[in-house]
Amino acid sequence: MLRVLGSTRKLCHGFTRRDLLRIGGLGLAGMALPDIFRLQQAAADDGTTRPASFGKAKSLILMHLYGSPSQLEWADPKPEAPVEVRGELGSIPSSLPGCGVCELLPHFAQVMDRTTVLRSMTHPYPIHGVAYALTGVPQIDVAMELRPHDAAHWPFVGSVVQYVESKKGDGRRAIPPNLALPFPFSSRRKGEVPRAGPYAAFLGRQYDPVWTDFEGEATKGHKKTLQDMVYDENDPYVGVSDDCRFRLSTSAVLPDDVTLDRLDRRRSLVEQFNLVRPSLASAAAATNLSKQQETALALLASGALGEALDVRREQEETRDLYGHTLFGQSCLAARRAVEAGGRVVTVFWDEFGLAGSGWDTHWDHYPRMKQELCPGFDKAWYGLITDLDRRGLLDDVLVVCTSEHGRTPKLNSAAGGGRDHWSSVYTSLMAGAGIKRGHIVGASDKKGAEVADRPISPKDLLATTYHLLGIDHASIVHDRVGRPLPLVDGHVIDEALS
């Protein structure tokens, strides 16, 4: 029997969506799946009143902190817990009553009154499941996570939004509807194959994100370790030069066999594209390019994306607001992109230099929190929320910050301290369009180890995101073999909605 997870909403004739899809799978009473979907569409158009929050967000800035921050040293500290749990860092009050934050986040603390904190995120997969966090896939394992194009994957949230808009016939945007920064995911680390997550899966590669590349010099560094490997060169997540900027990734317009190493040896390539920009469109017509490559060339030719991504055009005061780090300047570029008409812009705090970096602090937890991770995040979140608010954009732009899981409540014995993977409870953040200002949903227990109140799944976070973007999270898409699937099997987090 074909069973599809999704909304249990009653349709106009009394069936639920699940009922109808089961009927379609069995062929009961001669009803084929197309007939079922026509009934489903008729029910969707029956005039049912939507909540006021539905479609509230004109655009989305999605932040993903690869490797996962510790809930205890972020926005759910436990100052009364034993030292082996609370660790060596203290907490400070924030502008949101009852919400202390890590002492290393003084700027972050100032804008918590404009943030909803989800303190009871939970799921059963304590692995680097970027795909699980950012797609509707119902389960994940390590093998899938290391195979980005495994047939079992489901589409990334940005790809779904782009797909839905394309089916509505929305015109081509000057800014791509599914843009991702700062560079192609999992491409700046050494030692392992790329990771899964931000891809269109069975929707087709034409709905993969349009990626940027970062141009600029890393000005600071901090030693990172991965077992017996050490990375002690400068790292852009710690500091970047004032002349840094972002461009459309050349991997979007060049053949797949042109590797990142080759591009690094050809740093003038983008300048060459700019010189021949007027002839790009005609050249594309005479070349056998993929749909994605044609789109990328059209974006290059328009110049609008390049202007939006060029953070050097901002006043110095605004750039300072976000912090001169790769993550901070990526968030600034994201704000510029949505202001110019972007629909979904994703900013990854990705691994750099070594696999197992980012927020994956099995080793050197406290040195990295103090010198690398917290300073960059502190200014970036503060800068983005402050800047959106003062520009009058926070009511239109949804901001979501999440990760794969949390970290163990009990410290391990690694040098510099360490916290391992923990998915039983962790924290995510929401702000902006349709979200309550200054609110806490859910709670963890006294040690930050388990959910004490209101468990929230990553699928609930995705369902809420789709809802605010005006997309029914139970909408049906079809996988590679034609099976009907809901976008995500989750529930809207009503307590977070304004």
Using an 8 Å Cβ cutoff, are 222 and 368 in contact? yes
Instruction: State which fold the 59-254+305-471 domain adopts.
Output: Alkaline Phosphatase, subunit A (3.40.720)
Residue ranges with strand state E in 232-326: 245-248
Mean pLDDT of the chain: 85
SS3 content of the chain, % helix, strand, coil (to 5): 35, 20, 45
Instruction: Say whether pLDDT at 282 is over 90.
Output: no
User: What's the whole-number mean pLDDT along residues 47-69?
Assistant: 92
- Give the DSSP letter of residue 48: P
Q: Domain segments of the chain: what residues?
A: 59-254+305-471
Q: What is the rounded average pLDDT of the residues 478-498?
A: 94
Q: Does the pLDDT value for residue 109 go beyond 80?
A: yes
Q: Is 347 within 8 Å of 60 (Cβ atoms)?
A: no
Tokens of 138: 């119902």
Provide the pLDDT confidence category of residue 107 given band limits of 50, 70 and 90: very high
At 151-209, the pLDDT tens digits run 999 999 999 999 998 988 765 678 999 999 999 999 998 766 789 999 999 999 999 99
pLDDT, mean of residues 361-381: 96
Q: Which two tokens stand for residue 269?
A: 């390539």
CA distances from 43 to 16, 417, 492 (A): 10, 55, 20
Give me the pLDDT at residue 105, please.
Answer: 98
Per-residue pLDDT band at 18 (split at 50, 70, 90): very low
Task: Give the three-class secondary structure for 406.
Answer: strand
Three-class secondary structure of residue 146 per DSSP: coil
Strands 344-349 and 210-215: unpaired
Cβ-contact 370, 90 below 8 angstroms: no
135-156 confidence digits (pLDDT tens): 999 999 999 999 999 999 999 9
Q: What gap in Å lies between CA 477 and CA 474, rounded to an integer?
A: 9
Q: Distance between CA atoms of 3 and 22, rounded to whole angstroms? A: 6
- For residue 187, which amino acid is it? S
Q: At what angle do helices 458-468 and 157-167 cross, to 10 degrees?
A: 30
Q: What is the pLDDT of residue 126?
A: 97
Pick the range with the lowest mean pLDDT from 11-25, 182-196, 417-431: 11-25
pTM for the structure as a whole? 0.84
